[in-house]
Amino acid sequence: MSRFSEIIKSDKPVLIDFYADWCRPCKMMAPILKQVKDTLGDRVKILKIDVDKNQRLAAAQNVRGVPTLVLFKNGKQLWRQSGVVQAQDILAVVNQYL
């Protein structure tokens, strides 16, 4: 959990994808997140966290369903969305904080 706290304190946006291997919509997010990363490159950090392997962290972040995307910068949560989110929508949000 302390490593997570360090990561989200970054001064560049950190997009966390809380997912589960058994979740179909989570699988749909993989190519979308790749597209976001390809577009933004090193201007954003994207981290995938398996909720089944990180139950305490998911509970601490109030993740109730998967996929849940959370955007952090300087340790503050800036945006949160559950379900499949399209690349252009993610890009629009992240670009506000670059």
Per the annotation, the verdict on 15 as an active-site residue is: no
Catalytic residue, candidates 7, 20, 23, 57: 23
- Nearest partner of 61 among 71, 94, 21, judged by Cα: 71
Report the alpha-carbon distance of residue 16 to residue 51 in Å, rounded.
11
CA gap 57, 37 in Å, rounded? 24
Contact 75, 45 (CB under 8 A): no
Q: Is 75 a catalytic residue?
A: no
Q: Considering the candidates 15, 16, 26, 63, report the single residue annotated as catalytic.
A: 26
- Active-site residue list: 23, 26
